[in-house]
Amino acid sequence: MGIHTAYIGAGSNIGNKLLNCKNGIAALTRDNKTVLKDRSKFYKTEPVHYKDQDWFVNWVVKIETTLDPFELLNELKSIERDTGRVYNPIRFGSRTLDLDIILYDNLVKNSADLIIPHPRMYKRRFVLRPICDIDPKIVHPVLKKDMQYLLDILDENEQRIIEYPCDY
């Protein structure tokens, strides 16, 4: 049972979005299996793919955990359910809370239940910008490019993102 480093993305576009994100990460770190090590700024972000919905609040946190990737995934899904998330039949639709494993150590995993690194992270400004707040030099374990490079090559006319002012 070792200690692992993971990056978790949190997003919400229903209800008190900021509080939903904060409470989701607080729930994840309430036991001694997961410790919050760092966090990004919060961002208000334009929806991707399905545009007919409210903007999201997103952030990314860096954690240390003794949970393996599947245990961590189960914990995240349990927290989503506890916050009242109902799975929307519209892919990429509205949600009370969405928690995703973005990176887990340098693991590359592709199973029916879990893909690490997150399969669309390198296309998402709302993931890359917050990760760059924490450490822009993290290298994507498949693409072998750092997060700042991946952010810089995104089309700047897509995925509007605005820093969301708040006190942690």
Catalytic residue check, 146: no
Question: Which one of the listed residues 39, 98, 129, 133 is annotated catalytic?
Answer: 98
Question: Which one of the listed residues 38, 39, 95, 155 is annotated catalytic?
Answer: 95
Catalytic residue check, 54: no
Helix (H) or strand (E) holding 56: strand 56-65
Scanning the structure block, which residue is given the tokens 């860096």? 62
Catalytic residue check, 98: yes
Which of 51, 100, 91 has the alpha carbon at shortest distance from 72? 100
Q: CB within 8 A of 54, min separation 6: which ones?
A: 13, 14, 47, 94
Question: Which one of the listed residues 100, 124, 125, 133 is annotated catalytic?
Answer: 100
Question: Which one of the listed residues 52, 54, 81, 85 is annotated catalytic?
Answer: 85
Which tokens is 7 given?
A: 């990056």
Give catalytic residue positions.
85, 95, 98, 100
